[in-house]
Structure 1
């Protein structure tokens, strides 16, 4: 569980990154989850865009993806959301206490 201070720090970092995944009409598939797992291990913080043709609400999608990959939901703005999970081998982000 991350604190408010840590969440603010992650939001600041996420402001400068682009979406690396798009969630469309196929929804949250096993292949999508596997790709998100790999990206989180490599980057720790990722942004995902929910397309208009998706049947999922952005917050619902964010919470489901975060739960399935054991990550922390950071924020959602419009059709994009950000999740964070500390990497086991490629730790890049040092969270404040």
Structure 2
């Protein structure tokens, strides 16, 4: 898989719904949502703080500091105070290994 980096295993999740990982030295939040894996940059574009502890609702993550919301699929900022999107990553799963690469 060209350009994809192995970042985790499905076994690492256990009962968790998210893992903190790195892709190309970028802090990434790997999220298990039902049977789907999603990955976003783990930094709020409003103030640079981690999104790690943010609530996940309706396909969005809510920044725990100031309430900015981001779409987990597109990375788009959905409300103030954030106005810029977060980076998202393409995910592939093969033999319980999870691979990622930045989306263009």
Q: TM-score range by the shorter chain?
A: 0.3 to 0.5
Structure showing the higher strand proportion among its residues: 2
Write 1 or 2 for the structure with the bigger share of helix.
Answer: 1
Structure with greater contact order relative to length (CA < 8 Å, sep ≥ 6): 1
